[in-house]
Amino acid sequence: MQNMTAKQAPRSYKVQRFLDGWSLFYENLIGKIGLYLLILFGLMAIVSYIPPHVDPMYHPMTGVDPDISYASPPSARHWLGTDNIGRDILSQLLTGARVAFLVGITAAFISIVIGTLLGMVAGYGGKILDALLMRLADMVMVMPSLLVILLLSVLFGQLSIWTIVILIALFRWPAVARVIRSQTLTLKQRPFIDMARVAGASHLRILFRHILPNVLPMALLYMTFRITSAIIVEAALSFLGFGDPNTVSWGMMLQWVWKTGHMFQAPYWLLPPGICISLMTLSFYMMGRAMEEVLDPRLRKIRKTDHAAT
């Protein structure tokens, strides 16, 4: 975070600010829980590379236990049991963490980039540009994004995980753009922007050198919320059977357990992916809330609900 806050400040000041923020964050119970959960999932994602090297049968997608060809409950060989074709659920679950991070962070990052850029441009540009971009944001905002992505997925054949990521990003920028715009509007009134302008800085330079560093913390905060919604959308899509079948995600696991008729027969298969999806979104959400309080407690008023974005 320290690299992103005001560039002009001396290094020691920045470090100090970061440390202050960090201790504030760490004192916050919610932030702490979120952080621990996140570390847990991070570990899962890292560990996920190990099982296939132990034995090819632990490959999450293609490995099958040579002796087990049905859904089996947890055992010494398969700590969380196997799915119906004899694949190890634990290694799928671990891989799922990796996919969730990948989907969540990439989609969130793209949407934050779009949202921040458009928000800055709208706020700085003003007038027609502002009106146009904000109407566009309104429009995208009211779109039932899950349904639209579903529609696209059905119409254009099954989408790959990357297409899904990009689509999620394309539907999730407006809220960010709005907040960044209002921040930019306040920043624009600030004297240092005027000074820069008088000094002959180009619009581009003002935008990226002076405004961007100041709105970045906000953008970063928003990223945590975008991550949760991206994970949920991917899970929901996969759950309905419109995910990428070559990817082992938690939503995909739920789809398998559902469509093969093991829903209520194999709790050891149904519960872990659901719990993981819920906890991972929870951890990002908690992190976000804690960060929010660190950055500015008054900001809570501006944000609108993102939670129900399934």
Residues 89-108, interacting with other proteins (CB under 8 A): none
**Interactions with other proteins, residue window 201-230 (CB under 8 A):** 228
Query: From CA 179, how far away is CA 24, in angstroms rounded?
Result: 23
126 touches other proteins (CB under 8 A): no
Q: Between the CA of residue 294 and those of 18, 34, 100, what are the distances in Å?
A: 10, 14, 26
Name which of residues 69 to 88 contact other proteins (CB under 8 A): 69-71, 84-86
- Contact between 23 and other proteins (CB under 8 A)? no
285 with 308: CB under 8 angstroms?
A: no
| Per CB under 8 A, 308 contacts other proteins | yes
182 touches other proteins by CB under 8 A: no
Residue number, 205 or 259, with CB nearest to other proteins: 259
Q: Compare residues 4 and 240 and give the one whose CB is closer to other proteins.
A: 240
Residue indicated by tokens 């093969």: 260
Residues with Cβ within 8 Å of 43's Cβ and at least 6 positions away in sequence, in order, are none
Q: Which of residues 145, 183, 214, 249 is near other proteins by CB under 8 A?
A: 145
Contact between 54 and other proteins by CB under 8 A: the answer reads: no
Of residues 14 and 262, the one with the C-beta less far from other proteins: 262
- Asked if 164 interacts with other proteins (CB under 8 A), we say no
Nearer to other proteins, 196 or 293 (CB): 293
Q: How far is the CB of 36 from other proteins (least distance, A)?
A: 13
CB under 8 Å, gap of 24 or more: what pairs does 16-25 form? Answer: 21/294, 21/295, 24/293, 24/294, 25/290, 25/291, 25/294
Dmax over Cα atoms in the chain, in whole Å?
76
Least distance from other proteins to the Cβ atom of residue 184, Å: 19
Nearest to 310 by CA among 183, 120, 150: 150
Within residues 220-279, the interface with other proteins by CB under 8 A covers: 228, 232, 235-236, 239-243, 245-246, 254-256, 258-266, 270, 273-274, 277-279
Identity (one letter) of the amino acid at 65? D
Does 163 bind other proteins (CB under 8 A)? Our answer is no
Q: Ramachandran region of residue 214, left (φ > 0), alpha (ψ -120 to 50) or beta?
A: alpha
Number of residues that bind other proteins (CB under 8 A): 74
Stretch that binds other proteins, among 17-25, 43-51, 63-71, 207-215 (CB under 8 A): 63-71
Q: How far is the CB of 208 from other proteins (least distance, A)?
A: 31
Position among 6, 39, 135, 190 found at the interface with other proteins (CB under 8 A) = 135
Six-digit token string for 77: 């060989």
CB of 62 to other proteins, least distance (A): 5
**Nearest CA among 269, 277, 229, 267 for reference residue 96:** 277
DSSP bridge partners of 224:
none
- Choices 15-23, 148-156, 183-191, 197-205; region in contact with other proteins by CB under 8 A: 148-156
Residue ranges in the chain assigned as alpha helix (H):
11-27, 29-47, 51-54, 89-125, 127-142, 145-155, 161-171, 174-189, 191-198, 203-205, 212-240, 250-259, 267-295
- Minimum distance, C-beta of residue 66 to other proteins, in the bound complex (Å): 10
Q: What are phi and psi of 60, to 5 degrees?
A: -60, -30
